[in-house]
């Protein structure tokens, strides 16, 4: 496997990138046959391209784009992408231009992932060096995690489907990745811009502020600070230069300033574009309000639609609070436990959000699966990998079949489709749990290598 991966990493990385782009272009030429843009897995009320076109049309005819509960995205997307919904080239597929934009967004995201992955790998090697573990862990066996992550992101069927299915999730994902890239390479204005845009496009990215603060405050992922101290206590020379830096507030304040600036800028732009149509309040109500109140109960791959279709109106508000607090509850414990690995923390947050958000799509899974590629070296002994892989394959095949059985054949019912949604949620939970425990085990293993304990104290 390592040979294969190395080969992928060094020689044929660009071949694979080209192949994935060509594959996307081929699929774009058969939009009618695939009909992906109407699949519930791809286009949610928030990311649907048809709704975007409708919102643009409404705006062009001097009505509020949010009229009729059709469009629920950002007004900036309307101004940027809206014209592409109308422009057509003679003899070409209808939405060729927009498809090309999403292909470009995907490639840019992959490149950013690659750069960030290389950063992370270098940081990891540096910290191993300062711990004097380079000999014990064969560094030459280390995989180019950036290349692997980028390839996972580009060749993942979920990403391809989201890209070809004309959803806006490639652009949302790009904003998230931009934010992480900026934070990793300490480009604070860029990080702030990415964070503001990601939050603006999909509310849930707001919680990424915690990993970004950690990233800016103490640098990219490294083993726990305690280890460094232990190591140096053993050697009895306290070399301050080899210690990871302490938390510094300077960049964080810098970031807060830029984030404030960018959000004011974005809000002003939105305000201008919505001046005649009810202003910013209207926008908040029909984007964030729509996300938080789960108004649209059309089926998707999440679990909330079914629950809120069943729940009594009386309890609705209560359960809305319960479901959203669910995400908030996990923020703090994870932040404390994984504070030394902010990028991994970001991956966990993204995965949890894509599991519990009100309108999930496969584009969200594509994002966190791509980010998972950054940690191939650390997660080498993750459990249940084959099981998870088979589960993802099985669910992604079974879900369209169940949908067909329910909607087109009429022989199944909503429970059939919801069952696959539950299995999917369980798979994501297993992935997160196993991922986090594998990462903690990795830290433990490093500690044991330093203190010289035997290997078997794994858990």
Gap between the Cα atoms of 12 and 18, Å rounded: 10
Contact stretch for other proteins (CB under 8 A) within 286-294, 338-346, 354-362, 402-410 = 402-410
Residue 189's Cβ-count burial label (10 Å; 0-12, 13-18, 19+) is middle
Residue length of the chain: 459
Where would I find the H helices in 338-384? 342-356, 362-372
Size of the site for other proteins (CB under 8 A): 40
String of contacts with other proteins for each residue 88-127, x by CB under 8 A: ----------------------------------------
Residues numbered 35 to 54 that lie near other proteins (CB under 8 A) are 35
Neighbouring C-alpha atoms within 13 Å toward the C-beta of 318: 5
Residue (323 or 392) nearer to other proteins, CB: 392
Structure tokens at 321: 């609070």
**182, 211, 208, 191: which is closest to 337 by C-alpha?**
211
Nearest of 93, 63, 66, 68 to residue 276 by alpha carbon: 63
The whole-angstrom separation of Cα 24 and Cα 34 is 13
Spatial distance between the Cα atoms of 59 and 284, rounded to a whole number of angstroms: 17
Pick the binder of other proteins from 14, 33, 328, 336 (CB under 8 A): 33
Q: Residue 2, interface with other proteins (CB under 8 A)?
A: yes
Residue of 9, 189, 224, 394 interacting with other proteins (CB under 8 A): 394
Residue closer to other proteins by CB (options 253, 393) is 393
What's the min distance (Å) between Cβ of 83 and other proteins?
A: 28
Site string for other proteins, 274-313 (x = CB under 8 A): ----------------------------------------
Pick from 401, 400, 394, 386: nearest CA to 423: 394
Of 400, 414, 423, 425, the one binding other proteins (CB under 8 A) is 400
Span near other proteins by CB under 8 A; candidates 157-165, 234-242, 314-322, 399-407: 399-407
Please, which residues have CB within 8 angstroms of residue 16's CB and are 6 or more apart in sequence?
8, 151, 154, 155
Minimum distance from CB of 24 to other proteins (Å)? 18
Give yes or no for residue 404 binding other proteins (CB under 8 A). yes
**Interface segment toward other proteins; rule CB under 8 A; list 58-66, 120-128, 137-145, 161-169:** 137-145
- Where on the phi/psi map is residue 312: left (φ > 0), alpha (ψ -120 to 50), or beta? beta
Task: List the one residue from 389, 415, 437, 451 that touches other proteins (CB under 8 A).
Answer: 389
Segment interacting with other proteins, rule: CB under 8 A, options 61-69, 240-248, 281-289, 389-397: 389-397
Please report how many Cα atoms fall inside a 13 Å half-sphere around the Cα of residue 267, on the Cβ side. Answer: 12
**DSSP-assigned states of every residue in 112-125:** HHHHHHHHHHHHHH
Least Å distance, CB 402 to other proteins, is 7
380 interacts with other proteins by CB under 8 A:
yes
456 binds other proteins (CB under 8 A): yes
Residues 405-444 that bind other proteins (CB under 8 A): 405, 408-411, 416
Q: 426 phi and psi, to 5 degrees?
A: -60, -40
Query: By CB under 8 A, is residue 136 in contact with other proteins?
Result: yes
Q: Tell me the closest approach of the beta carbon of residue 38 to other proteins, in angstroms.
A: 10
Residue range at the interface with other proteins (CB under 8 A); choices 29-37, 74-82, 162-170, 243-251: 29-37
Q: Distance between CA 209 and CA 196 in Å, rounded?
A: 10
Measured from the CB atom, the residue of 160 and 270 that comes closer to other proteins is 160
Q: Kindly tell me which of 96 and 419 has the beta carbon lying closer to other proteins.
A: 419
Q: Which of 21, 96, 125, 137 binds other proteins (CB under 8 A)?
A: 137
Residue 259 CA to its chain's centroid (Å):
20
Both ends of the chain: CA-CA distance in Å? 26
Tokens 């926008």 identify what position?
283
* Cα–Cα–Cα angle for 343, 347, 351, rounded to 5 degrees: 165
Q: Which residues bind other proteins (CB under 8 A)?
A: 1-2, 4, 32-35, 136-138, 141, 377, 380-387, 389-390, 393-394, 397-398, 400-402, 404-405, 408-411, 416, 449, 455-456, 458
């Amino acid at each position: 496997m390592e040979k294969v991966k190395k080969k992928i990493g060094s020689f044929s990385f660009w071949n694979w990138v080209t192949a994935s782009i060509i594959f996307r272009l081929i699929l774009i030429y058969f939009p009618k046959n695939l009909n992906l843009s109407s699949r519930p897995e791809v286009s949610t009320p928030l990311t649907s391209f048809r709704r975007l076109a409708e919102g643009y049309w409404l705006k062009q005819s001097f009505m509020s784009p949010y009229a009729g509960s059709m469009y629920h995205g950002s007004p900036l997307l309307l101004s940027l992408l809206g014209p592409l919904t109308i422009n057509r080239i003679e003899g070409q597929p209808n939405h060729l231009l927009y498809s090309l934009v999403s292909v470009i967004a995907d490639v840019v995201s992959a490149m950013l992932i690659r750069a960030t992955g290389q950063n992370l790998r270098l940081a990891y090697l540096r910290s191993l060096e300062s711990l004097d573990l380079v000999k014990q862990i064969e560094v030459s066996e280390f995989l180019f995690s950036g290349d692997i992550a980028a390839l996972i992101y580009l060749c993942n069927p979920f990403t391809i489907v989201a890209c070809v299915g004309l959803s806006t999730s490639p652009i949302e994902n790009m904003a998230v990745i931009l934010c992480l890239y900026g934070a990793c390479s300490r480009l604070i204005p860029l990080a702030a811009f990415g964070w503001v845009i990601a939050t603006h496009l999909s509310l849930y990215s707001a919680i990424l502020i915690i990993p970004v603060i950690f990233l800016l405050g103490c640098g990219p992922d490294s083993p726990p600070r305690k280890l460094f101290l232990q190591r140096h206590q053993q050697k009895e020379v306290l070399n301050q230069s080899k210690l990871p830096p302490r938390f510094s507030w300077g960049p964080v304040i810098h970031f807060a300033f830029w984030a404030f600036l960018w959000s004011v800028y974005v809000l002003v732009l939105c305000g201008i574009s919505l001046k005649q149509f009810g202003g910013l309040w209207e926008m908040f109500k029909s984007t964030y309000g729509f996300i938080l109140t789960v108004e649209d109960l059309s089926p998707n791959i999440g679990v909330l639609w079914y629950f809120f279709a069943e729940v009594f109106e009386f309890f609705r508000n209560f359960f809305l609070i319960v479901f959203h607090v669910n995400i908030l509850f996990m923020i703090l414990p994870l932040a404390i436990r994984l504070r030394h690995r902010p990028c991994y923390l970001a991956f966990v947050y993204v995965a949890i959000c894509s599991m519990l958000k009100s309108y999930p799509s496969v584009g969200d899974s594509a994002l966190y699966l791509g980010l998972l590629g950054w940690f191939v070296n650390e997660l080498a002994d993750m459990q249940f990998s084959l099981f998870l892989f088979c589960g993802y394959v099985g669910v992604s095949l079974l879900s369209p079949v169940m949908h067909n059985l329910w909607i087109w054949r009429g022989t199944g019912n909503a429970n059939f489709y919801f069952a696959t949604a539950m299995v999917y949620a369980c798979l994501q939970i297993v992935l997160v749990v196993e991922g986090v425990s594998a990462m903690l085990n990795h830290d433990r293993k490093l500690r044991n290598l330093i203190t010289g304990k035997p290997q078997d104290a794994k858990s």
